[in-house]
Structures are given as C-alpha cells and as structure tokens.
Chain A
Amino acid sequence: MITYVLRRLGAGIILAVLVTFITYLLLAPSFEKIVRSILGTAATDANVAGRMQKLGYDRPVGVQYLDWLGGVFKGDFGRSLFTSELVGPAVTQRLGVTLSIVLPALAITVLLSIALGVIAAVRGGTIDKISQGVSLIGMLVPSLLLAIVLVLIFAVTLRWLPATGYAAPSSNFDGYLRTAAIPIFVLLIGGVANMAAQVRGAMIGELRKDYVRTLRARGMKNTTVVMQHALRNAVGPAVTVLGLEFLAMLGGALFIEKVFALPGFGTYAFSAALRGDVPVVMGITGFTVLLTVTINLLADLVNGWLNPKARLQ
C-alpha cells in the first residue's frame, strides 16, 4: 500500500512537470509579443531585445523552463511581469479565496447528493420525480445564469446580501457568509444535480444485484440492506465522480468569481492569461496541476480502500 502511494505520488510529480512544461512551450512563442505590450508602442526592437534578455527569455526554452522549475523546487515562483508581486504567495492567497467557496460547496454537495440519490433510487415514484426535478433545476439553469438571477434577487432587489466583494472567513466570518453564500449555492446546485444523478444511477444498479435480494431473504431490514450494503458498493463510482466534480467546481469558479467579482483564483487566472503574465500563468498552472494530482490520488486511495479486491492486491 505504501509503495502504491509513493508510486502514485511519483507519477503525479512527473505529470505536474510535464504539464507545466507543455504550458511553457505553448506560451513561449508569444513572449516577444508580451514584452512588447509591457514596453508600449514607443519601444524599439533594441529595447524589446534588451528586456527579453533581462527576463531571460532569449535563452533556449528548455533552459528557461528548467530555471523556472528549479525556482519552484526552492519555493520561488518568480514575480509578476506587470505588478512585480511575488507569484507564490499571490496564488496561494487567491487559491484560499476560491477554496473557501469550493470546499463548503463540495461538502454540502456530497451530503445532499447521497441523500437525494439514495431516496430516489429506493423509493422511486413521486420522490424520485421530485429529486429528479431538483437535478433538473440544477441542470436547467446554467450556473452562470443562476448566479446572475440570484444576484438580481438577493442583492439588487431584496438587498439582503452584497452583490460583490469578499471577506475572509478567518477575519470576518459573518461577512464571509454573506458574500460567499450565493457563490457556494450556485456551485453546489450544479454539483448536486450531477452527483445525485450519479448516486441514483449507481444505487439502482446495486439494488438490482442478487446479493441485495439474498440479504433481504435472510430477514434483514430493507433500510439496513440499502444503507449498509447497496450504498457501500455504490460509493466507489461516486468517489471518482466527486474527484471530477471538485475539478469542475474549480473551473466553474472561473465564471462565478467573475460574476461576483470575488478576488479568487479564477479572476486572477483570467486577467493574467489575458495580459500574458507568464510567471503568474505558470504559477497558476503549477498549483492547479498539483491540486489535481492530490485530488486524484485521494480519490484513488479512497476507492482502493473501499474495494477490498484492490486493497488486498
């Protein structure tokens, strides 16, 4: 088991290196254009070449990348080309804002999805239709539209919550709740819609299996069979979906943060990408990849732990 974890971790690090390298390769051709935009239209070719040299962009791409990677291993992600801000602390701070929206949304998503999915699969009929209706609402309204509509209702019309802005949960919890409530709600609606359908599907599949009938034939309560056996077996696929859902929420945050003007990872990434702020884009890519690797590793570990066959081999 330990060698398995180490192997997966090693593979994850190799992945992270590869992904950031490819991103660097893709960005490299536009370095000159970016430098030109920093210096402005008045800059001569010599000015541009000088700045390229100063930034080290005149060296071979491989060397530049290794230089960046070397810095990363020392915890130095470089400085923004535009604001001279240190990338490492800036990204982690922004990531903190995004995670303070995504993680609560994910936790509530898990609880609601399991409850809705199980009830829908077991009861069928009206309750199933209602829970499918909830899923439908989540799917019906693309999260972007939902975000806009909720802002209109709660912030603009009712004035209950601020339309934009953010307060860190550590410093101002009440302010955090007020500013994060709509973004969290928007993210979790999409998450529940997706996850509940997956849980329902997996549960229907399990409930049709022979062992369920056999356990019931031994006089076990239906609820026990459902909750302790069928659900236990249905959780595996759901965990995989959960990992994907987390990444999807990070992506969704890009849109949501824009609507709510949250100072998160997504807003930061978007403006950096549009400006061509290479060190920031690289820093964001690096952090995202590491986050993804970690999430996948966790999902695999949980899945392996849930499946005795995988656990014992």
Chain B
Amino acid sequence: MSVEQLTADPDLEASARTPLWKRLAGDPQAVITGAILTVIVLVGFLGPFFWTHDPNAADLNYANALPGDPNRPLGGDQNGRDILARLLASTQTSIIAGLIGVIVALLVGVTAGLVGGYLGSKTSAVTEWLFNLVMTFPGILLLILLMPVTGGDYRVTMVIYGVLLSPAIFRIVRGLVIATKGELFVDAARVSGLTDTRILARHILAVIRGPIIVASAFLVGTAIGVQAGLAFLGVGSSAVPSFGSMVSEGFTNLYLRPMQFLWPSITLGLITACLILFGNALRDALEGGQKNVGGRKSRRPASSARPLEPIPSEENALLVVRDLQIGYPASDGTVRPVVKGVNFTLNKGEILGLVGESGSGKSQTAFSILKLLPAEAVILGGSVWFDGINLLEASERDMQKIRGRRIGYIPQEPMSNLDPSYRVGAQLVKSVRATTGVDRKEAKARVMELLERVGIANPERVYRSYPFQISGGMAQRVLIAGAVASRPALLIADEPTTALDVTVQAEILDLLRDLQKDLDLAIILVTHNFGVVADICERIAVMKDGRIVETGEAVDVFDNPASAYTKSLLAAILDESTVRADRPAALAQKQE
C-alpha cells in the first residue's frame, strides 16, 4: 500500500480518454515526484530489512555521535540511538499514519458525499448534519483529549483523525455531486434509463475524482504533518519513532548537533512537498492541465510568409479564408493537424453552411475566425481576411474590437453559455457596454429592444431572470440577442439548434433568417445537420478530415453532389428523414 495506489486506481484509468499513466509519464513533475515518493516508500519499508539496527536501542557510547561511524552512519541522538534506523522507522510511521488518515477520510467522505449529494433531501440533510457534527469536533484537541482512549497508539489516533478529515472530502464530493446532478448529461443518463447507482458510478465519479485526488494528496500531507505535530507536542508513545519526536529532540540539541534537527525536517518536508506536487500533476493530467485562456500566445511557424500575400480582393467578399491550417500538440510532442488547408469565401449578407461530421474540423475553422481557439491550438498556416485585416495576425486588443462589434457568435449549448451567477439582463448589458460604451440606461433600453426583437414574449421577466430560470429555447434567443447586440456584419453560429427541441429548432432558424434579412448579416452556420442547411443556407461547404471536400450553391450540392462523401451524408439524412421529407424551403425558393 502506498501513495501510488491513488494513481493505480483502475477506475481512474478506465474513465480517462488517454490512459492516465501515459499522460503522467509525459509530465516531468509527476515522474520526478512520483519517483521520489516511491523511493521513500520503498526505503521506509525495505530499508529496515537491510539496516537492522534497533531504532530504540540507546547506547551512551554513541550519544551525539557524529555522522560517519559504521554503527551510526548518520550519527547518534542524545541517547545514542541510531539516527538512520530512527529515520527509516519514522518514515514508515509517517506513511502509515498518512495512509490510514486518508483512506479513512476517503471511505467515509466519498460514500457519505455521494449519498448526501445524490439521494433525496432527507438523506442529504441527515448526512450533512452528521458531518457537521464530525467537523464541529475540535479535531486536534479531541486527539489530545482521547489519549487515554487511544492509549497513545498513533494508528488509532490516525483512524480518528481520518474521520475528522472526512468532512473536507464530504463537502467537496457533495458540492460537486449537487452541481453535477443538475447538469444535462446526468439528466440525459437518467432519462435514458440508467439507474441511480450506475449514474453515480459512471458520470458523477468521473466529475468528482479530480478534486478528490488533489484533496487526498493534501490530506495525506496533512495527516503526516498532524502525526508529526502531535509527536512533537509529546502526544503518543515514545517507543514509536516519529519525525515529530525526532524534531523535538533535535530542537533541544540544535546548537550542538544541528543535523539531528535537519535530518527529520528534510525528510518530512520532502515527503509533504512531493505529495503536493504529485497531486497537482495528477490533477492536471486528469483534467487536461493548465490552459492559458488568452489568445496571447498563438504559436505559429516562423517561416510563414503571409504578410507578402496579396489581400484577396474578391468583389463583395466579407471573409476570405485561405489555406487555413490548425493543429494540436500530440502526446509525442508533434503537432497533429486537424484543419488541413481550408479555403472559402463568404460574401456580404450570405449564409454559408459549414457541414461535416464531428471531428471534421468545422468548429475549429469557425473558432479560428473569432480567434477563440483553445489555448493549446496551434495555427500552422494560412490567413483569414476580414474587412481587409488578416485576423490571424491581429492582436488580442484588435480582436476585442472585432469580436461582438463586427463578428458575432452563437454557441451550441444555450445553458452552459450563460454565466449562471448573473441575471440575463445584466450579462447582456455588460456585453453591450463593453462593445459600445453607452451608459447603463441606454444599454438596458437596447437590451430590452433586442430581447423583444429575438421573439421573447415577456422581455421584462427574462431580463430579470437568472439563466436557470429560463428554458433552453429562451436561452438560445438570449444568446442570439447577445450575438447581434452590436450589429455585426458576420455571425458565426456553431450548431445553434442542435441542443434544442425540433419545434424550437424551426423557430430559431426562422429567427436567424429574419435577422439575416433585417441586418444584412453574413452567417457561417456550422452544423452536422443537412436539414438545417437545407432550411436556411444559400451555399454549402462540406468538410471531412480537416478539408473542404465540396463547396457550391446549396441547390447544386443537394441535387447533384459531386463528392462521394457528400452523397453518403445526403443519403444518410434521407434515410433517417430527420427534419422534413418535403423539398427543403431554400431549395424550393431557388428553383422557383
């Protein structure tokens, strides 16, 4: 049993997309700290088999012996006991203390947290109450008070301390479970007929494991520290070697033999520090690691000669994408391209459907126009010309002026794209003010007008609502209002109807069509759904594996698909007859 147990947990590995150990192996912090911890654990447990000196055997011949003596390689303490043997034994004591503490805390805290967070309000109230009871116990004081009960045995003390630590885990788990419970994927799981136990096991454990593992690393450290601290104060049996008692003895002897104080301090510090760093590395590995949010560091090859490229001067063109290439760093250090040279042109007031399966690179293409790619994305080459500016070369400051004002964005999932803490109106007012600089009153008037414009029947009520108080369709209208608030010339809609009911889908598409006419918007509609495309788009670009395989007028593509891939996609939708069996509206109009 060791700290490594945490990483070897099969459940953690099974649910991660890339095996956890593989990602950990690529992180020097995890490798180094993991290795140090492993060595410490091995030395602590195997060392006494090779160095068989009794850590408690006092021999006044070796009192305060200097390091280097064959019988006292690290010297002797003031009673002549062997410091090396005592260090080995103390290491063991610490590790056992830490593990007992964290295992008890995890067993109690996770179980109760899952039960308390997931099950009905009655169970939840009872568990919460119980844990408040536990937490309200003055922990370290209790450990001291219970000395007669524990008989000074540090293992019993640590079991009690584990229970005292469990509220920390309980609170984290319960909080996350309650937050997760409301999330859509859990609802989805429940609706699709999964039992509560399976939902707990699969979905919720996947969400809570990261924070728990980080907390555990901290808690092992805490338990080790408290055990040492109690021994320092003199709580516990003196027959059990411990860093705490070694530090306390070394402290009294500090001027004579500073090493007596340093040995246990350094070992103790090393163990705690490695635990924390390993925990951090683990967290980063589990959750994809630290990502820089800002677009401040878009790396790209130095050899790009784009500035020399003439600005495409196609007449009427609003947006010209040339040879766009985007990649993501792979675990082996190379950059794996996901968008491999995309070209297209969008005219003013035109609606282009960017169609493809998930993973085809269509969303990456769309986000690169806003320069809101994830921080780890690498732009490998190409250019995105908008209004005579190459957006890929634009600074973050310039992009701030373009986003919202010139290019709007409608996201896919309405609920997660609203800040849960602010009222709908307040969020929109903030965005309006950020882009236009008008005062609060004017911004509010503008927002109310927008809400009405996007077809919200009771704008005053929605304005005052929090996101959780409105429906998905309503939220999507709010997001559309936010996207067109500053009258952009181009709207990027990323699967704007995918998360909605079919009836609401049609309404939202109608709204987009209306807005497009009113504001003379150009729209890039990213979707996997040919039905949506047929409904609204004038032109189509079909993407596959990071490339555009076919582009043309919607009518032509539907009637006469050139690429085999488009044909297969079209065949698929016709088979499913998902949206409508009659001839798509846009096509019908064009034909007439």
**Once the chains bind, are A219 and B401 in contact (CB under 8 Å)?**
yes
Interface-facing stretch out of B49-57, B99-107, B479-487, B546-554: B479-487
Query: Given the complex, which residues of B lie within 8 Å of A143, measured CB to CB?
Result: 225
Interface assignment of A201: CB less than 8 Å from any CB of chain B: yes
Note all chain B residues with C-beta closer than 8 A to A9. Answer: none
Partner of A226, one of B293, B421, B434: B293
Q: Mark interface residues in B126-147 (1 if CB within 8 Å of A CB, else 0).
A: 0001001101111111101111
Please tell me which one of the listed residues A128, A210, A274, A284 contacts residue B290 in the complex, with CB atoms under 8 A apart.
A128
**B148 proximal to A (CB < 8 A):** yes
Is the pair A136, B276 in contact by a Cβ cutoff of 8 Å? yes
Q: By the criterion CB–CB under 8 Å, are A240 and B482 in contact?
A: no
B466 CB within 8 Å of chain A: yes
Q: A152-B254, A309-B420 are in contact. Are A289 and B138 (CB under 8 A)?
A: yes
Chain A residues with Cβ below 8 Å from B276 are 135-136, 139-140, 193, 197
In the complex, the answer to whether B273 meets A274 with C-beta atoms within 8 Å is: no
Report the bound CA distance from A135 to B144 in whole Å: 29
A296 interface hit (Cβ, 8 Å)? yes
Residue B214 lies at the interface, judged by CB distance under 8 Å to chain A: yes
User: In the complex, A254 Cα to B413 Cα: how many Å?
Assistant: 51
Q: Are B404 and A220 in contact (CB under 8 A)?
A: yes
| A216 in complex: contacting residue of B141, B214, B261, B372, CB < 8 Å | B372
Q: How far is the CB of B319 from chain A (nearest CB, A)?
A: 16
Q: Chain A residue with minimal CB distance to B273?
A: A140
> A222 is contacted by which of B247, B269, B273, B293 (Cβ under 8 Å)?
B293
Query: Across the interface, which residues of B come within 8 angstroms of A213, CB to CB?
Result: 372, 411, 417
Q: Are A219 and B405 in contact (CB under 8 A)?
A: yes
Contact between chains at A218 and B291 (CB < 8 Å)? no
Bound-state Cα–Cα, A51 to B211, Å: 54
A54 at the interface (CB under 8 A from B): no
Main DSSP-derived SS at the B contact region: helix
Complex Cα spacing A145 to B175, Å: 34
Q: Is the CB of A308 within 8 A of B466?
A: yes
- Given A125-B292, A222-B293, A229-B422, check contact A142 B228 (CB 8 Å): yes
Complexed CA–CA distance, A218 and B429 (Å):
11
Contact flag A144-B247 (CB < 8 Å), given A125-B292, A136-B273, A226-B293: yes
Interface residues of B in 114-129 (CB under 8 A from A): 129
Q: How many residues of B contact A (CB 8 A)?
A: 90
Is residue A72 contacting chain B, with contact meaning CB distance below 8 A?
A: no
Q: Chain A residues with Cβ under 8 A from B290's Cβ?
A: 120-121, 124, 128, 204
Q: A135 CA to B29 CA in the complex, in Å?
A: 15
CA distance A39 to B276 in the complex (A): 50
B229 touches A285 (CB 8 A): no
Closest chain-B Cβ to A298's Cβ sits at a distance in Å of 13
Are B403 and A219 touching (Cβ within 8 A)? yes
Q: Which residues of B contact A152 (CB under 8 A)?
A: 254
CB contact list, A121-167 vs B, under 8 A: 121-125, 128, 132, 135-136, 139-145, 148, 152
Chain B residues, Cβ within 8 Å of A12: 132
- Given A15-B132, A220-B434, answer yes or no on A288-B482 (Cβ-Cβ < 8 Å): no
* Interfacial chain A residues near B469, Cβ < 8 Å: 312
Task: Given A132-B280, A212-B293, A244-B168, check contact A142 B431 (CB 8 Å).
Answer: no
Confirm or deny: A30 has a beta carbon within 8 angstroms of a beta carbon on chain B.
yes
CB neighbours of B202 from chain A (8 A)? none
Bitwise interface map of A from 268 to 289 toward B, beta carbon under 8 Å scored 1, else 0: 0110011000000100110011
- Chain A residues with CB below 8 A from B79, complex form: none
Binds B, one of A16-24, A40-48, A60-68, A169-177: A16-24
A214 touches B417 (CB 8 A): yes
Contact B229 A221 (CB under 8 A): no
Taking a contact as CB atoms under 8 Å apart, the answer to whether A218 and B483 are in contact is yes
State which of B225, B287, B431 has its C-beta within 8 Å of the C-beta of A215: B431
| Residue among B211, B233, B482 with most chain A CB within 10 A | B233
Known: A142-B269, A152-B254. A207 touches B485 (CB 8 A): no
Is A144's CB under 8 angstroms from B411's CB? no
Contact of A251 among B139, B147, B416 (CB under 8 A): B139
Q: How far is the CA of A85 from the CA of B145 in the complex (A)?
A: 21
A218 touches B293 (CB 8 A): no
Q: A87 to nearest B CB, angstroms?
A: 15
Give 1 or 0 for each of A190-211: 1 = CB within 8 Å of chain B CB.
0001100100010011011111
Q: Which of B144, B280, B372 makes the CB contact (< 8 A) with A197?
A: B280
Q: Which of A63-100 contact B (CB under 8 A)?
A: none
Which residues of B sit under 8 angstroms from A258, Cβ to Cβ? Answer: 233
Q: Which of B140, B167, B221 has the most CB of A within 10 A?
A: B140
Taking a contact as CB atoms under 8 Å apart, the answer to whether A145 and B434 are in contact is no
Closest to B418 in A: A211
B486 near A270 (CB under 8 angstroms)? Answer: no
Contact with A along B483-521 (1 / 0, CB 8 A): 101100000000000000000000000000000000000
In the assembled complex, the Cα of A217 lies from the Cα of B431 at a distance in Å of 10
Give 1 or 0 for each of A5-17: 1 = CB within 8 Å of chain B CB: 0000001100110
- Smallest CB separation, B303 vs chain A (Å): 24
Q: Which of B247, B270, B408, B417 neighbours the largest number of chain A CB atoms within 10 Å of its CB?
A: B417
Contact A255 B485 (CB under 8 A): no
Whether A309 and B418, one on each chain, are in contact in the complex, defined by CB atoms closer than 8 angstroms, is no
User: How many whole Å from B324's CB to the nearest CB in chain A?
Assistant: 18
> What is the CA–CA distance of A288 and B135 in the complex, to the nearest angstrom?
11
Q: Mark B144-169, 1 if CB is under 8 A from A, else 0.
A: 11111100000000000000000110
Q: Does B111 belong to the interface (CB within 8 Å)?
A: no
Once the chains bind, are B228 and A148 in contact (CB under 8 Å)?
no
| Whole-angstrom distance between the Cβ of B168 and the nearest chain A Cβ | 6
Is A217 within 8 A of B370, CB to CB? yes
- Whether B283 sits at the interface, judged by CB under 8 Å, is yes
In this assembly, does B409 line the interface, its C-beta being within 8 Å of a C-beta of chain A? yes
Contacts of A30 in B (CB 8 A): 148
Q: Contacts A219-B400, A219-B401 known; A255 to B232 CB distance under 8 Å?
A: yes
**Are A229 and B419 touching (Cβ within 8 A)?**
yes
Does A306 have its Cβ within 8 Å of any Cβ on chain B?
yes
Contact A122 B294 (CB under 8 A): yes
CA distance A209 to B418 in the complex (A): 10
**CB distance A148 to B417 under 8 Å?**
no
Interface residues of B in 227-264 (CB under 8 A from A): 228-229, 232-233, 244, 247, 251, 254, 261
- Minimum CB–CB distance from B93 to chain A (whole Å) comes to 15
Q: Are B141 and A288 in contact (CB under 8 A)?
A: yes
Closest to A139 in B: B276
- Nearest-neighbor residue (CB-CB) of B137 within chain A: A19
- A181 CB-CB contact with B under 8 Å: no
B386 within 8 Å of A (CB atoms): no
Please indicate the chain A residues that have their CB under 8 angstroms from the CB of B141 in the complex. Answer: 251, 254, 269, 273, 284-285, 288
Instruction: Name the residue among A145, A194, A222 with the largest chain B CB count within 10 angstroms.
Output: A145
Q: With the chains together, A232 CA to B466 CA distance in Å?
A: 15
Given contacts A210-B413, A216-B372, A220-B434, contact A139 B419 (CB under 8 A): no
**Interface pair B291/A140, CB less than 8 Å apart:** no
CA distance A213 to B400 in the complex (A): 12
Task: Return the 8 tightest CB-CB contacts between A and B, nearest first.
Answer: A219-B404, A217-B409, A140-B273, A218-B431, A288-B138, A218-B404, A124-B292, A139-B276
Q: List 17 A-B contacts (CB under 8 A).
A: A27-B145, A128-B290, A139-B273, A142-B229, A211-B420, A213-B411, A217-B409, A217-B483, A218-B485, A220-B400, A228-B430, A232-B422, A250-B138, A255-B233, A269-B138, A269-B144, A273-B145
B interface residues with partner A (beta carbon < 8 Å): 129, 132-133, 135-142, 144-149, 167-168, 171-172, 175, 211, 214, 218, 221, 225-226, 228-229, 232-233, 244, 247, 251, 254, 261, 265, 268-270, 272-273, 275-277, 280, 283, 287-288, 290-294, 370, 372, 375, 396, 400-405, 408-409, 411, 413, 416-423, 427, 430-431, 434-435, 466, 468-469, 479, 482-483, 485-486
5 extra A-B contacts, CB within 8 A, seeds A214-B482, A254-B233: A123-B292, A145-B265, A148-B261, A221-B400, A229-B422
